[in-house]
Structures are given as structure tokens and as C-alpha cells.
Homo-oligomer: A and B are copies of this chain.
């Protein structure tokens, strides 16, 4: 065992101290903004009953859910049918095989359910829906909750895609006010501005407008194909979108109607005006326009810091899920996929039997935001999470001498360490450097005799002789 080089499972990560400081900076910033807007934190267990998760994310999702093996003598519960044996035995003889895969004896799906009753959280939304239904009698609605926890997906790992990653969600249930949607835009604006981004775009659309468009073309049943196609405009261009639409059952006449919608230009107000004409005969389309107008009206009373808000009719994002507003956030400063998204869903808790509770929510893509801040060098150079002062004694006498000062530093709130006696000063300074410690205090026999300690600023290299009291004052 000792010879195996230790590692983590593929797609999973350790986070070093320096990474944790940066990750905490992002999470703490987002959390503080969530709280400012009245969202409260909850946590749900890592494991849910399999029945809670299965079937909620489509077949592909089911496949990607990590299942936990039952504990105890679990294999007693897996029963192999006798009539499997006869045919299998014959087969074994026939092919002269020595072993046979378990799959031949038991359907794998059935096997999984007999082996496993629990599964790992796949996202934060379904556990939240389960939470709301389970605790509905303790909850005061509207319920504004945020949640920052890891989720797990048995996806093929690749650059930027992990099997364990944190989600960072805020949702409100039990309020149909569009003030919530407006505030989600404010939350994106405030959190991302606070993190130092200066140029980012919050795209907004409304599922009802997409429904309206499909309606006026006379192909409401093709709404999914339509939105999947036009959602790709950025990537495959207009020709690509048109080709895809043609293969999906749209006619050239449909496309003549769609094209001006897809290519809609102008300010948000201009776009809405155009849409009013285009969707004049669609009640649901007009409702979508009205909702967007209400959100824009709210936003007029607020001032945004750095975000621009753009109505984008091609935005779809998990369309079958959303029923009203749809959001997506992109930075213009580096090339990166969306760093946030969300929308309104009218029946979140229906899957657990609680009907008619409307909800809306947003999510921050923490890993991508991390990469953006790294690339733009926006992480603050100094922080309060690391050690500020390291005391470096030449010997045991220096160590003893340093103890009261060490306690004094901590007493006034300074993160401080004393390097235990016995190491060369060079090694101690390397330690300070590697740990990004701001100040070092060196204590040798001269220093103890004079009471003036060598105080070094590790960033500037500047060095002076100061008393212990003066040093404590200088670093507070």
C-alpha cells in the first residue's frame, strides 16, 4: 500500500491554503450580497434518498448521479432468479467460459436499486424543493434561501469540468412578484462588481416570449427544437441556425417569420417595441413582454454598478424548466462561458406533491469566476486569513523572550506565529515567504539586550529596529 502514490479520484480536487483563501473570498463576497438582499442560508445532507433524485434530471442526469452502496450485509438483498441460472449455465458450457459478468444475471438498473438506496446531491435545486415540501409548516413564505455546497456528477472530467464542484444558489419560493427578478439582477451586479469585474453583461429573456414566437409561427409543439436551435446563434451563426431549423421540421416560410426575431437589434426598449408588433396576436407572448417591462421599470429605480442588462431573445437555458424570466451572465473581459444563470419556474415543488408554489432563482459559477479573477489578477494581494507576523528566534532564549509579545499580538487581533527555536533564520524567512507573511520579527542576543527587535517588512524588504510595543502598534 505504501508504494502506491497517493492520489484523489479523477475529477476531484484538493484545495491548498492559497486556493482556499481565494475560494473563500469569492464565496464570502457572494454570501454577503445574498444576505444583504434577505436570503438566508440552509444546508441539506450530502446524501438524499435515491427516490428523491432519480427521474428529476432526465435519463442522462440519472446516469450521472453517484449512488452510495447500502451499508450492512447489502448483498443479501440482491436476489438472483433461478430461471436465469439454467440458461446461463447452458451458455457457460457452450462458450466454455470460466466466469460471467453479473450483468448477465441481473438487469443493472434493478441491481443498482437493490444495491443502493442513497445518492449524492446532483444539484442544489431538487434538494431545496424537497426541503421546502418537507419543512413547509416551519417555513414563512416567501422563503428566500441561499445554499453553497458541493454537488457530484459522474461526468467525464475535462478542463474546467469536475466531478465534485460547489454550487452557489439563491432562490425565492412563494412570491410571484417581479421585484424578485429585478433584485436578482441587482445581486449579480453587486456581487460581481464587488469582486472587481468591471464589464459584464446580464442577458435576460422570458420563456413566455419564446412560447409566443412558436405560437405565431404556428408550431408551438416545436418550441424546444426552435429554442435549442436559436440558442446556438452565437456559436454557429444565422446560416447554422437556419439549417438546423430546416432539419427539425420548420419551413422556409417559418424561417422568414423567425429571422427578424432572431436578429432583433437595438436597445431593450426598441426590442420590446418590435416584439409587441410581432407578438401582437399571442396572449402569452404579450404577457412575457409585460413581465420584462415590469422588471425594467423596477431597475429604473435602482442604479447598477457595472453590469449592463440586455434583452436577448435567443437565450433559452434549460427551457423546459423555466416558465418566466431567464437569466445568463457573461463577462466581456475574458473569454469564458456563462458565469451565472437562472430564471423563474412555476412549479418547483410539484415533483414532491406541493403544487402551485412559484419560485425563481439564480446561480453563480464559482469555478469559472475563480478562473476569471485569476486571469484578471483581481484577487486582493493581502487578506485577513493568513499570518501577518512571524517571530523568528535565533535560539531557545529568543523563543522564550518572544512568548509575551506573541500573546500580545494575538490579543490585539493580529494573526501571529512564533517559529519554534532550532531552525536557521534563513529557513524561517523562507517559511514566511512561502506563507506570504507580511512582517517578520527577528530576535537574537543583540535584540534581547537592547530591547530593540529587528522588524522587517517582507514585501518591501525594509527593515528597522523597534521595541516589542512599537511593533505591536505598527501591525495592528
Assembled-state Cα–Cα distance A407/B166 (Å): 29
Contact of A85 among B89, B111, B386, B421 (CB under 8 A): B89
Known: A75-B108, A135-B16, A352-B2. A400 touches B301 (CB 8 A): yes
Residues of chain B with a CB closer than 8 A to A154's CB:
71-72
Assembled-state Cα–Cα distance A17/B135 (Å): 12
Query: Is the C-beta of A150 less than 8 angstroms from some C-beta in chain B?
Result: yes
Known: A6-B134, A103-B73. A38 touches B387 (CB 8 A): yes
A45 touches B179 (CB 8 A): no
Q: Mark A71-98, 1 if CB is under 8 A from B, else 0.
A: 1111111111110011011001000011
A51 touches B415 (CB 8 A): no
Say how far A43's CB is from chain B's closest CB, in angstroms.
4
Query: Is the C-beta of A460 less than 8 angstroms from some C-beta in chain B?
Result: no
Assembled-state Cα–Cα distance A344/B82 (Å): 56
Residues of chain B with a CB closer than 8 A to A186's CB:
407
Say how far A57's CB is from chain B's closest CB, in angstroms.
14
Interface centre among A117, A404, A415 (most CB of B within 10 A): A415
Assembled-state Cα–Cα distance A76/B100 (Å): 9
B81 touches A98 (CB 8 A): yes
Known: A66-B68, A67-B69, A112-B69. A38 touches B407 (CB 8 A): no
Query: Is the C-beta of A37 less than 8 angstroms from some C-beta in chain B?
Result: yes
B103 touches A79 (CB 8 A): no
Residues of chain B with a CB closer than 8 A to A45's CB:
8-9, 12-14, 164
A92 touches B97 (CB 8 A): no
B100 touches A79 (CB 8 A): yes
A130 touches B6 (CB 8 A): yes
Stretch at the interface among A197-205, A219-227, A233-241, A428-436: A428-436
Known: A85-B88, A98-B82, A175-B420. A42 touches B16 (CB 8 A): yes
Say how far A169's CB is from chain B's closest CB, in angstroms.
14
Query: Is the C-beta of A474 less than 8 angstroms from some C-beta in chain B?
Result: no
Assembled-state Cα–Cα distance A45/B164 (Å): 7
Q: Mark A205-234, 1 if CB is under 8 A from B, else 0.
A: 000000000000000000000000000000
Say how far A23's CB is from chain B's closest CB, in angstroms.
8
Q: Find residues 388-409 in chain A having any chain B CB closer than 8 Å to their own CB.
A: 390, 399-400, 403-404, 407
15 interchain pairs, CB-CB under 8 A: A2-B351, A3-B353, A6-B133, A9-B118, A14-B131, A35-B384, A36-B410, A47-B66, A67-B69, A69-B112, A75-B101, A76-B101, A80-B99, A85-B88, A301-B403
Residues of A near any B CB (own CB < 8 A):
1-9, 12-17, 20-21, 24, 35-38, 40-49, 51-52, 55, 63-64, 66-69, 71-82, 85-86, 88-89, 92, 97-103, 105-106, 108, 111-112, 115-118, 120, 130-131, 133-135, 138, 140, 142, 144-145, 150, 152, 154, 164, 175, 177, 179-180, 186, 190, 298, 301-303, 350-353, 384-387, 390, 399-400, 403-404, 407, 410, 413-418, 420-422, 430-431, 434-435
